[in-house]
Amino acid sequence: MMIRFRWQRGAGDTARRLARFRRVVDSALQTPRYGPSLERAGLRRTKDIAKIRSIEEVLQYIEPAYYDDVVKMPDLWRAPIEAPESLPPRLLYPTGRAARTAVFEAPVEESRWVSRFSMDEIGALRHEMPEAIAAPAPFLVFVARMVEGGFLSLPPVSRYLIAFTGFLNLPEREMVLAAEERELLWRVFQVPVFEQYMGVDGRLAGWECEAREGLHLVRENVVLEKTRQGEVLLTSLTSLHLPILRVRTALEGSLVPGPCECGRETPRLVALRRLPVVQAFAARAAAG
Ligand SMILES: [Zn+2]
């Protein structure tokens, strides 16, 4: 039995989410991991997909899993489908206005505003002089420590940082930006940092606006639920080659309905943090 987040929804929004969910379930039907569970839900073949009336009704048949299991046994989870991989998404500018941004190690579309680099190209920042840097949070933290320690010098960034968290950050995917890391980034870069939490396929699940009062949920990309223990579960509405239903995020948090100070009505994930029990588990695993 799961407790679900509740929020107001528009009819069009619900229909669009259901259509996306049906496509993901159609892929999941073809995987050894989800096939048997979906069969119990009365879904065997593609033609059964039209029967799905509610996302929650189907999800209750799915046992939550750790993403580590996906990584260890990808063949169980991968769908043998022909659909082309979707193009990388556009970068979402947290303040709404485009900024010349250097993006490190993230699947984001390049444009005249956005240039992509690999982690060992950090030196490129000296001549690129971007207004903003977007990178996985552990990488930003590493760079900040190098600068603070005097091992690296970088030109100032004038606008902001975007810290990618979530499933993009292997192997530290079960993380959000901690308060002391935000302080370190502020101390070194002297610009605001905006967190963007990514799902398994690099699509945004939640993002921080200028108000920085939690992460705005991207409802067309993910379904979030909460277990009785308080853990947030993520179902992707976009990942077809690797369908993901109810993956454990190892995070706890609450969903607050709108409106936000920024004027947007979408619900926000607030007070996201790692589950203490998971930290203990991780420490045990590391101790080996
Ligand atoms: Zn907002």
- Helices and strands counted in the chain (H then E): 9, 12
- In the predicted model, is pLDDT for residue 152 greater than 50? yes
**Segment 31-71, tens digit of pLDDT:** 999 999 999 999 999 999 999 999 999 999 999 998 888 88
- In the predicted model, is pLDDT for residue 288 greater than 80? no
Where are the domains positioned within the chain? 11-84+221-280, 101-200
String of DSSP letters for 64-101: PEEHHHHHH-HHHH-----PPPPPPPPPPPTTSS---E
Quote the pLDDT of residue 276: 73
Cβ count near 130 (within 10 Å): 21
**Segment 206-248, tens digit of pLDDT:** 999 999 999 999 999 999 999 888 899 999 999 999 999 999 9
Instruction: Say how many Å lie between the CA of residue 156 and the centre of ligand 1.
Output: 26
Instruction: Say how many Å lie between the CA of residue 221 and the centre of ligand 1.
Output: 18
Residue 9 φ then ψ, to 5°: -140, 150
Rounded to 5°, the CA angle 91-71-143 comes to 45
Query: Measured in Å, how far apart are the chain's first and last C-alpha atoms?
Result: 33
Determine contact, residues 233/227, Cβ cutoff 8 Å.
yes
**Segment 157-215, tens digit of pLDDT:** 999 999 999 887 655 655 778 889 999 999 999 999 999 999 988 899 999 999 999 99
Query: What is residue 257's three-state secondary structure?
Result: coil
Q: 41 vs 50, 58, 60, 225, 248, CA distance in Å? A: 13, 6, 9, 19, 21
Task: Find where tokens 């705005």 sit.
Answer: 216
Instruction: Say how many Å lie between the CA of residue 5 and the centre of ligand 1.
Output: 18
Closest CA to 256 of 267, 240, 247, 264: 267
CA distance 98 to 113: 7
- In the predicted model, is pLDDT for residue 76 greater than 70? yes
Instruction: Say how many Å lie between the CA of residue 196 and the centre of ligand 1.
Output: 13
Q: 152 vs 122, 147, 194, CA distance in Å? A: 10, 5, 23
Instruction: Say how many Å lie between the CA of residue 208 and the centre of ligand 1.
Output: 7
Instruction: Say how many Å lie between the CA of residue 261 and the centre of ligand 1.
Output: 6
Instruction: Say how many Å lie between the CA of residue 193 and the centre of ligand 1.
Output: 14
Structure tokens at 24: 């993901």
Q: Which DSSP symbol is given to 141?
A: H
The predicted model gives 244-264 an average pLDDT of 90
What global pTM score does this model have? Answer: 0.89
CA distance 238 to 235: 9
Closest CA to 122 of 90, 147, 100: 147
Quote the pLDDT of residue 197: 93
- In the predicted model, is pLDDT for residue 85 greater than 70? yes
Determine contact, residues 265/250, Cβ cutoff 8 Å.
no
Instruction: Say how many Å lie between the CA of residue 237 and the centre of ligand 1.
Output: 22
Whether the CA torsion 246, 250, 251, 252 is positive or negative: it is positive
Quote the pLDDT of residue 68: 84
**Segment 90-144, tens digit of pLDDT:** 999 999 999 999 999 888 999 999 999 998 999 888 888 999 999 999 999 999 9
Determine contact, residues 101/134, Cβ cutoff 8 Å.
yes
Instruction: Say how many Å lie between the CA of residue 194 and the centre of ligand 1.
Output: 11
Quote the pLDDT of residue 177: 86
CA distance 188 to 149: 10
CA distance 226 to 269: 12
Quote the pLDDT of residue 173: 58
